[in-house]
Structure 1
Amino acid sequence: MDKISLTHASLGERELAAVAEVFASGWPAGQGPRGKALEATLKERYGAGGAVAVSNCGAALHLAMLAFGVKPGDEVIVADYTFPAPAHAVRYMGATPVFADVRADTGTVDPQAVAALVGPRTVGIIAVDTVGLPADYTELQAIADRHRLFLVEDAACAVGATYQGREAGALAEVACLSFHGRKGASSGEGGALIATDPAIAAHARQRASFGIGSIFDAGQVIGLPIPEFTEIGYNFKLSDIAAAILQVQIGRIEELLARRSAVAERYGELFAGEELLTVPHVPEDRTHAWQSYLVTLAEGVDRAQVATDLRAAGIGSFHGTWASHVQPAFEAKQVCPVSADLFRRNLGIPMHAELTMSQVERVAEVVRKAVRTHAAPARRPL
């Protein structure tokens, strides 16, 4: 029985050829020629004032907080139902993440919940495009403008998605992307900060390289320029090896997203009418990047047992994502009941561009059997 993995990066010969070119160039480190080319590609794709390639999306979020001058005593409202990288970034600054509950139908942050949390110490909002679905940016931007707050888009999962005709990654003044192995465009690890203001991008690029900027650039100057460390920075550079892979991957976004979308559409057909689970909801004004495919199990279905059955059949699964406010690291004061409920009932099933339709059908068959087997007696179909 062939195993069906939860995720699988779509990397092949074109990416290998790009890496070979970097090897031949003699500059595999960060902020070199391929990194600059990647940043130019990202800047053009998102119509941005600047783009900065970095080691991961968490680094991009950290740089965004630095750029906006977040400091101890400040509060930043963050979407709750997500991998808690936004809350980590806020805590890096000594500030307090304030967790906002999410919409039950989409899992994206609820603008009404955000508006209710704005207080005298609030300086910004980090919205999240939950597992690939953009949040409600029209409403969120209006809240940010009304209270003079910054708005950051965590588009880690959403490369290729759209909201009201605009691409995820271009929906706020700063957006943060991920190129982790399970994303729609991947270099194994990696990220980027996209900014409408070139000054924010320049600040982020400087802080991403220990505060001294590109050693490659310094090496192109005649003489012996010696960089000065004028501020404290970090080592958040993306290698030129990863940048070369990503240039190929970004050129393939539409191709790979079409394949993921076909998988999602087929899942929707196969689960139609299944009362023991709910498939993802995508509002008409946006499109999904399908980083993950999460089904919401009905009350009384034993999720752990369903996952056990999937594993026994060689099928990958996971819990979905996190209700950040219940994580011990944050000692949160907020209660986010919708997020907590999704955290308890969501189940991720295989989603990637390499799935065949026969594999999708097998996954759906095993899932349907498992949820019926492990439903509470009152919910089991006759």
Structure 2
Amino acid sequence: MDAIPLVHASLGGQELAAVEEVFASEWPAGQGPRGKALELQLAERFGSAEAVALSSCAAALHLSLLALGAGPGDEVIVADYTFPAPAHAARYVGAVPVFADVRADTGTIDPQAVEALVGPRTAGVIAVDTVGLPADYAELESITDRHGLFLIEDAACAVGATYRGRPAGALAPVACLSFHGRKGITSGEGGALLTSDPALAADVRLRSSFGIGAIYDKARVVGLPIPEFTEIGYNYKLSDIAAAILQVQVGRIEELLDRRRAVAARYDELLKDEDLVTPPHVPPDRSHAWQSYMVTLDPDVDRAGVAADLRAQGIGCGHGTWASHLEPVYETAQACPVSADLFRRNLAVPMHAELTPDQVERVIEALRTALRTHARPHTN
């Protein structure tokens, strides 16, 4: 049988045509006309005052912390159950990441855990829309406002999701997006920062280009303007080639998300009576972007055995995401028991816009068989 990959990018003729246009232009590098057009498109799509196109979501997180003034001596509360980019970003600026446990039903950062962690050194909070599901922003905003902290939304996986009628990417004063190859829309790699603060956006845009601003703009000034390095910046620009791809992908958000929703709905239907797994939970006040579809296995199921059986049949699967506090790089004594439990028991099965109904049926049939093969017998 043909393989069913865990992820698959939905890229085609429209994206190729956009790239050809950039090839024929004079500017394939970063912060050119396609990048500027993408920023306007993103700002309009998300109802944001400013959008800055960047090389990755990690770059957006790093630059947002710099712009917000986080640094040595500060603590940044970060969601634990996630790819550890938020914790990395805190380390990049010399701050200490403090890991907040998550809700057992959604895997999103638990506001009560955040409240308990706020201390005299706390500068802010980075919430994560876990694998595409927005966090509890009403409660989080109440906490950060009360304590005078910044709030950043890591919406890396959540383009297309909503929370109380508002789009993910517009749920905090600063939001960071990813356009990595497994996201709902993609240019292979890439990211963006969205903010309601024009001054913060200007700071991020300057730092993203070595601290000298856009060479494209300066090359069009009559005379010979010589850029001055006013900040220690970084090479975090998004190329115009990637920006052109993303202009097409942004226009396809609803089409691609509708296809992912259909896959998720079918998975839900096929698993509703399966007692060895718990399907994803989506609270009624929000919607999921379905970057991943993760099931939580019964504690008596051997996840490694299930994964081996699926992969042997050409069906992609993965562990889901990380309990960041357990990673050796952090060497923390903190405990996040809910996150640690999800890290042990969650399993991601194929989720992308190219899955066919027959493939979905095949995934669940194989999963059911593997669950029963690798369920440990109960003992009295």
Q: What corresponds to 2:108 in structure 1?
A: 108
One-letter amino acid of the counterpart of residue 224, structure 1: L
Residue 333 of structure 1 corresponds to: 333
Which residue matches 1:149?
149
Cα distance in 1, alignment partners of residues 19 and 335 from structure 2? 47
Which 10-residue stretch deviates more, 327-336 or 155-164?
327-336
What is the aligned partner in structure 2 of residue 234 from structure 1? 234
Partner of 1:348: 348
Matched, 1:182 2:182: yes
Q: In structure 2, the residue corresponding to 1:76 is in which secondary structure? A: strand
Which residue number corresponds to residue 259 of structure 1? 259
Match of 1:38 in 2: 38
Q: Deviations over 1:211-243 (max 9, x none)?
A: 000000001111111110011000000000000
Residue matched to 1:290? 290
Q: Where does residue 324 of structure 2 map in the other structure? A: 324
SS of residue in 2 equivalent to 1:114: helix
Deviation at 1:332, TM superposition (A): 1.8
Distance in 2 of aligned mates of 1:363 and 1:22: 39
- Which residue in 2 is equivalent to 1:369? 369
Query: Amino acid of the residue matched to residue 173 of structure 2?
Result: E
**Distance between the aligned counterparts of 2:299 and 2:87, measured in 1?**
29
Name the structure 1 match of 2:224: 224
Any idea what SS the aligned residue of 2:115 has? helix
Contact 1:53 1:237 in 2 (8 A): yes
Deviation at 1:378, TM superposition (A): 2.0
2:250 pairs with 1:250: yes
What SS does the aligned partner of 1:126 have?
Answer: strand
CA shift at 1:331, angstroms?
1.4
Q: Residue 27 of structure 2 aligns to which amino acid in structure 1?
A: W
Q: Deviations over 1:221-274 (max 9, x none)?
A: 111111100110000000000000000000000000000000000000111110
Kept after mapping to 2: 8 A contact 1:263/1:360: yes
What does 1:67-82 correspond to in 2, within 5 Å? 67-82=67-82
TM-score (norm 2): 0.99
Are residues 1:135 and 2:135 paired? yes
In the alignment, the residues of structure 2 paired with residue 172 and residue 102 of structure 1 have an alpha-carbon distance, to the nearest angstrom, of: 18
- TM normalised by structure 1 equals 0.99
Assess if the C-alpha contact under 8 Å between 1:310 and 1:366 holds in 2: yes
Whether the 8 Å contact between 1:132 and 1:155 is mirrored in structure 2 is: yes
> Which residue pairs with 2:17 in the alignment?
17
In structure 1, what residue type is equivalent to 2:190? Answer: G
Distance 1:65 1:230 in 2: 18
Question: By how many angstroms is 1:131 displaced?
Answer: 0.1
| Cα deviation, residue 47, structure 1 | 1.4
* Regions of 4+ moved over 4 Å: none
**Correspondence 1:268 to 2:268:** yes
Query: Could you list the per-position Cα deviations for residues 147-169 of structure 1 after superposition, in whole angstroms to 9, with x for gaps in the alignment?
Result: 00000000000000000000000
For 1:333 and 1:257, how far apart are their aligned partners in 2?
39
* Equivalent-residue separation in structure 1 for 2:373 and 2:10 (angstroms): 34
Unaligned runs of 5+ in 1: none
Name the SS of the counterpart of 1:176 in structure 2. Answer: strand
8 Å Cα contact 1:49-1:201 kept in structure 2: no
| Shift in Å, 1:333 | 2.7
Q: Which residue of 2 aligns with 1:212?
A: 212
Structure 2 gap ranges (5+): none
Task: Provide the C-alpha distance between the structure 2 equivalents of 1:321 and 1:99, rounded to a whole number of angstroms.
Answer: 15
- For each residue in 1:307-365, what CA deviation from the matched residue of structure 2 results, as whole angstroms up to 9, or x when unmatched? 00001111000000000000011112310000000000000000000000100000000
> 2:320 matched to 1:309?
no
Distance 2:361 2:221 in 1: 59
Is the CA contact (8 Å cut-off) linking 1:78 and 1:126 kept in structure 2? yes
CA RMSD of aligned residues (A): 0.7
| Cα distance, 1:73 vs structure 2 | 1.0
Shift of 1:26: 1.9
1:245-304 CA deviation, whole Å, 9 max, x = no partner? 000000000000000000000000111110000000000000000000000000110000
